[in-house]
Amino acid sequence: MKNQLVEFDAIACCAMREAFLVNQEEFVHLKNHIGEENFNVLTQIFKRTVRMSVFMKPVHVRFYLVAIVAELKRLGILTPTISLPCGHTAYDHMRAIESLKNQITQPQKVN
């Protein structure tokens, strides 16, 4: 499997920032599996990032997919119109996270 381009827009970055902040207990096993230093590198980037496009190795794609699934599960129990601490709605974050999931799980077009 080749490296994969994943584009995080402003709301997707915000949603991932929120996911890693709120779901910390969900990621204990993941942190233990990849190591705390690697975990911090892969999560802390969202603290200061507004948007980014990055080519990810398959291992990183799997890491973020685990985070996306956990966050979708958490957001799924919230009322879509509820305002999150960041000012976005749960629906805004769900759409952004679903977009990331689609990018990661759909085969990329070869130019």
Q: pLDDT tens per residue, the chain (111 residues)? A: 588 899 999 999 999 999 998 888 888 988 888 899 999 999 999 998 999 999 999 888 889 999 999 999 999 999 999 999 999 999 999 999 999 999 998 765 555
Task: Give me the pLDDT at residue 24, please.
Answer: 85
Task: Give me the pLDDT at residue 108, please.
Answer: 59
**Tokens encoding 12:** 């997707």
Quick check: helix, strand or coil at residue 75? helix
pTM here?
0.86
Contact 44, 18 (CB under 8 A): no
Task: Give me the pLDDT at residue 1, please.
Answer: 59
Task: Give me the pLDDT at residue 109, please.
Answer: 59
CA-to-CA separations, 47 to 14, 20, 22, 81, 106, in angstroms, rounded: 8, 10, 13, 24, 27
